[in-house]
Chain A
């Protein structure tokens, strides 16, 4: 690996009690094939577990899959815990069945783009790449 090159590290997390991790696995594999280093922690993660893992692994991005309808609780809680741990520069994004109004409301609380069912994985990959380019570009300039 060449000097200064940065691998994008992503934690793919599946919080809550629902056992549907197909979406999480699909996105984890797609991220890997896009050249990202993906940490996958399995089902039934609490927000505290997710944030602990994100901190220890020093990821750039946390991507959560939420299909249980609890997105209005889970996303803001993970965002708040990340900020409190001094990791406010980690992007929180994700996917699931999330109504437009909720997506907007979560965006106002510092959550990144959220992808609905059927979104081509390439869209999420492009979004993460673009975000990372802007972030590291800004860091290098400053």
Chain B
């Protein structure tokens, strides 16, 4: 059954690959764990899965402050996509406690409607100390779901801070969810969220302050997009300006390309979710037509190469210095004035780089 040309040698991993080929969800789930835990051989497993082909599925990222309704929105979006018979893979990230290392992953509570749908696969991930809103391997987990054959992928960030910018490296389209309670529109500008949003959602839009927030986000967008010196329209960013007719597209090209629309939703009832999906589709069309999708994906791949290298080097340094005892002699030399932290680091780097046994990734041809 197994492909003799595969780079994977671990028999357990070969069994997982067979299982994934047969569409077994247990195999998918366990392959995800191998990758999430960066168990030995995980690089070869990923390499094999990615060379087998990808669906190139559309990746939608949802981010925003705690309690904004991200999970409910994810659930509503997935349900609508399923009406079109398309399989949906979902990754939801929640924070790891820095004190205990444990995590309470509760995003599934809002996704119970999807619990029995065979076309949906939900995986919760703990952030495990990673900053930036995702777990270290969330992007890889999305790749595995893609390779399994889900044409649509949804990823939801931790939702605790204002620096959840990793999502731009994981998704083609980023939706930033705000609620009237999450403060005024200016807060969104401070947070750096203005820069990453392809689409804004004002959720819980039946609550007081929703209309004001919509106006504020729109005018904040004007400040950003006003750099061409054009006078903004009187009534804020009109939804119809986005991906409209031919002349408009031309006008946008010399303008800013894409003006993030602001969509009002009530995730609890599903109101506005169809409009949100229309905006997502328009953004996708814009990505395709302008070549921006290709550019974004190449940029992501570039980041991935750097990530893989960063992590691999860290892993090797950790292995080289698995205990503090390894450094006692060097500490003595530093104390005696014969070395510095920099000269010690330089010699360790030399050792790691020169070791021919550990230089390549296990099981992967260069």
- A residues contacting B by CB (< 8 A) are 1-7, 28-29, 31-42, 45-46, 48-49, 52-53, 55-58, 85-87
Contacts and interface: CB of A to CB of B under 8 A. Distances in A.
Nearest to B28: A56
B29 A58 contact: yes
Contact of A32 (B24, B100, B115, B128): B100
A7 B109 contact: no
B25 interface: yes
Q: Looking at chain B, what size class is its interface with the partner chain? A: 35 or more
B270 interface: no
A40 B105 contact: yes
B38 A3 contact: yes
Contacts of A28: 104
A37 B37 contact: no
Interface of B: 24-26, 29-30, 32-33, 37-40, 96-97, 100-106, 108-109, 112, 115-116, 121-124, 126, 128-129, 315, 318-319
B37 A6 contact: yes
Contacts, number: 94
Contacts of A36: 102
Given A38-B105, A52-B115, A1 B128 contact: yes
B102 A86 contact: no
A58 B33 contact: yes
A42 to B, nearest CB: 4
B29 A41 contact: no
Contacts of B319: 3
Contacts of A32: 97, 100, 102-104
Contact of A55 (B26, B38, B104, B126): B26
B26 A87 contact: yes
A53 B108 contact: yes
Contact of B102 (A6, A38, A49): A38
B78 to A, nearest CB: 13
Given A37-B103, A40-B105, A40-B106, A56 B129 contact: no
B102 A34 contact: yes
**Best-surrounded residue of A4, A45, A58 (most CB of chain B within 10 A):** A58
**Best-surrounded residue of B32, B112, B121 (most CB of chain A within 10 A):** B112
A37 to B, nearest CB: 5
B318 A3 contact: yes
A107 to B, nearest CB: 25
Given A3-B319, A57-B29, A85-B26, A41 B112 contact: yes
Given A39-B108, A49-B116, A58-B32, A2 B123 contact: no
B100 A56 contact: no
Nearest to A49: B115
Nearest to A28: B104
B317 to A, nearest CB: 12
Nearest to A2: B318
A86 B24 contact: yes
B101 to A, nearest CB: 4
A37 B25 contact: no
Contacts of A3: 38, 40, 315, 318-319
Nearest to B124: A39
Contacts of A48: 116
A120 to B, nearest CB: 17
B8 to A, nearest CB: 18
Contacts of B123: 56-57
Contacts of A29: 104
B202 to A, nearest CB: 26
B158 to A, nearest CB: 14
Contacts of B38: 1, 3
A79 to B, nearest CB: 16
A40 B101 CA distance: 17
Contact of A34 (B33, B39, B100): B100
